[in-house]
Amino acid sequence: MLDPYSGIAQVYLDGTPNTVDTYGPTTLYQQPLFSVHGLAPGTHTLSIQVLHQRDGETNGSWIWINAFNIENGSGIVGGVSAPAGRIEQNNPAIIYTGNWYLNTNPIMSGGTAALAMDPNSSATVTFNGTAIAWIGYQDQWSGIANVCLDGTLQSPPVDTYAASQRAQSSVYSIGGLSPGEHTLMMVVTGTHDAASAGSWIWVDAFNIK
């Protein structure tokens, strides 16, 4: 829905962010606010993040979800779990919230990675396996993230700072998990250690066993 009280949302399609302004000068129901066509056959993920932001015209920050139209497919109840192997940052099993940016660089796994610096931005991967490694990127501008496994905060936080560039680096890993489905969530703290000049957190890929 478009109306004079609607705001801005961040829409992620397979991990790629898109900013959508849902303001309208008059109320219009059942409006297509974001659409994409010609996707490769297979599973895809669409997630919507309420930013609590608005443009200069609107009187509110409301985001409305009425329905979804899916071409040549159907919705997947219960979400998607990643199997064993390497998955890239745009895999449908990964859900992003907050403000993430797409980086395209041949040094990244698959040629792309996602990065965020805003506190509480998160990336959550659901997987089937007994071990997982978060593959990121480390440099002089990288910061600190909290990691939760199956809802339990892991200690200590993960400091991704490095004095020199480290592409496709295993910044966090854990093994010995019980067979079955698990979730790993990376949460941006917006902080960094004294040596770092920034608080960027990178998600490049995951290795699952």
Domain boundaries, the chain: 1-68, 85-208
CATH code of 85-208, in short, is: 2.60.120.260
What residue ranges of the chain have pLDDT lower than 50?
A: none
What pLDDT is recorded for position 140?
98
- How confident is the model at residue 75, as a pLDDT? 87
Contact 81, 124 (CB under 8 A): no
Q: 102 has which bridge partners?
A: 114
9 contact partners, CB below 8 Å, separation of at least 6? 19, 20, 22, 33, 48, 49, 50, 51, 63
- Bridge partners, residue 186, by sequence: 123, 147
The Cα–Cα gap between 119 and 129 comes to: 29
- For a pLDDT cut of 70, what percent of the chain falls above it? 100
Tell me which amino acid residue 166 is: R
Per-residue pLDDT tens over the stretch 72-89:
988 887 778 999 999 999
pLDDT of residue 9: 92
Task: Please count the other Cβ atoms lying within 10 Å of the Cβ belonging to residue 163.
Answer: 10
Give the model's pLDDT for residue 86.
98
pLDDT of 136-155, one tens digit each?
A: 999 999 999 999 999 999 99
